[in-house]
Amino acid sequence: MKIRLLAVGQKMPDWVTTAYVDYAKRLTDDVRLELVEIPAAKRSKNSEVDKMKQQEGDALLAAIHPNERVIALEVGGKEYSTPQLSQQMDNWLQSGQHVCLLVGGPDGLSSAVLKRADSLWSLSPLTLPHPLVRVIVAEQLYRAWTLLKGHPYHR
C-alpha cells in the first residue's frame, strides 16, 4: 500500500526533512510513505484568506490520484489512539486501496477539499506547526505499522 502525504508548503528546515525521511524509510514494502509538496499560495499583507485556501485546495485536489482513499488532516476530525490508528492502517491494507493524506497551508483546508475527503483525521486539538505535522504523521504511521508487525518500537 502506498500512503501519499500531500502537504502545502516547501523549503522545510533541514530537521523536518531529516526526521520525516528517517521515519518514512523505516516502512517496508507493504507500506510506503511518499511526500508530495504543494506550493503555498503567495501571501501578502492584503491577501484574501479564502482565495489563498481555494488556490491551495485546487492544487491539492489536482494532485489526488483516482481511487485513492482521501483523508484530510483537520482539527475537527476524528482523533485516534495509536492502537486505533494501527487498526485503521490494517483496514487500509486489507482494502487494497492507496491512501492520500492532505495537510493544508497556514490557513487550513478549503471547503472543497474537506468535501472531497473520505474522512477527517485530527492529530490533536492543539494547533501544530505545519512542518511538525509531517514529522508527527510519519512517526505515527511508522508506530502504527510496528504494532501491526509485532515490532517492539511501540513500547
Q: What is the pLDDT of residues 62-85, one digit of tens each?
A: 999 999 999 999 999 999 999 999
pLDDT (tens digit per residue) in 6-56: 999 988 999 999 999 999 999 987 899 999 999 988 877 777 888 889 999
Give residue 155's pLDDT: 67
- Residue 8 · residue 56 · CB < 8 Å: yes
Q: pLDDT higher for 152 or 36?
A: 36
Domain 2-41+49-149 classification at class level: alpha beta
Is 120 annotated in a binding site? The answer is: no
Domain residue extents for the chain: 2-41+49-149
Q: Is 73 annotated for ligand binding?
A: yes
| Predicted pLDDT at 71 | 98
Closest CA to 56 of 16, 112, 98: 112
CB 37 within 8 A of CB 9: yes
Per-residue model confidence as pLDDT tens digits over 93-141: 999 899 999 999 988 999 999 999 999 999 998 888 889 999 999 999 9
Decide which of 154 and 49 is more confident.
49
Residue owning grid cell 491512501: 99
Is 128 labeled as ligand-binding?
Answer: yes
Whole-Å CA distances, 126 to 41, 122, 141:
24, 9, 19
CA angle 3, 142, 56 (to 5 degrees): 40
- Whether 108 has a binding-site annotation, put simply, is no
Specify the pLDDT at position 142. 96
CA proximity to 80, closest of 3, 8, 136, 20: 136
Q: Is 114 annotated as a binding residue?
A: no
Q: Give pTM, 2 decimals.
A: 0.92
pLDDT at position 34: 96
Averaged pLDDT score across all residues of the chain: 92
